[in-house]
Structure 1
Amino acid sequence: MQVSADEVVLRLHIQPGAKTSGFAGRHGDAMKLRLAAPPVDGKANKALLAYLADFCGLPKSKVELVSGHTSRAKRVRLSGLSVSGLGRLKDLD
């Protein structure tokens, strides 16, 4: 996780097609996130952004997939994150 004054960039390892969506610990230097959405037609990427927006209390427009559009290894930028949203992420780390 890279934290700056106005944004956070997360390194994630995504497991699409899971029973339920949720964080599942660490995978190397990334946080592992299971997604219930299948990895077809961008459904998992859309579900990822929606899940993170909801988890952090952000509008979807403030969550951006930076890299890894077709990979399980992804980087996601969160802009305008509140102190409580950042605290929830740090608790996972």
Structure 2
Amino acid sequence: MARLPVRLTPGASADRIDGWDADADGRPVLKARVRARPVEGEANAALIQLLAKSLGVSKASVSLARGGQSRLKMVEVAGLDDDDLRARLTGM
């Protein structure tokens, strides 16, 4: 199971992945934007759908491990290891 740190921006004009950035501690984090608002888990659900589509896996394979109420989230992807995950996100 691969773990993916994500910085989510809800309420964007389009659902998209903006590439890699660094958090305050210098660790890599994937930047993502979704149209959904952060109300009743809608933005988290949109993030899971966006990542599943981008990675070519089912929505059931993507889960939110931590950060349900935060912009910084840790997402787990079943069926992929960290190398596969990075390879599929290369160029985003």
Sort the TM-score into its range (normalised by shorter chain).
0.7 to 0.9
Percent identity among equivalent residues? Answer: 37
Ranked by relative contact order (alpha carbons within 8 Å, sequence separation 6 or more), the top structure is 2
Q: Is the 8 A contact 2:36 2:43 kept in 1?
A: yes
Q: Which runs of 4+ in 1 moved over 3 A?
A: none
Unaligned runs of 5+ in 2: 23-27
1:91 aligns with 2:82: no
Paired AA for residue 52 in structure 2: A
User: What are the superposed Cα offsets for residues 42-71 of structure 1, whole Å, 9 maximum, x if unpaired?
Assistant: 000010111111111111111010000000
> What residue is the counterpart of 1:39 in the other structure?
38
What TM-score, normalized by structure 2, do the two folds share? 0.81
1:77 aligns with 2:76: yes
Instruction: Give the number of aligned pairs.
Output: 84
Give the Å deviation of 1:25. 2.8
What TM-score, normalized by structure 1, do the two folds share? 0.80
In structure 2, distance between residues paired with 1:78 and 1:35: 19
Unaligned runs of 5+ in 1: 1-6
Paired AA for residue 63 in structure 2: E
Compute the RMSD of aligned alpha carbons.
Answer: 1.7
In structure 2, distance between residues paired with 1:36 and 1:79: 25
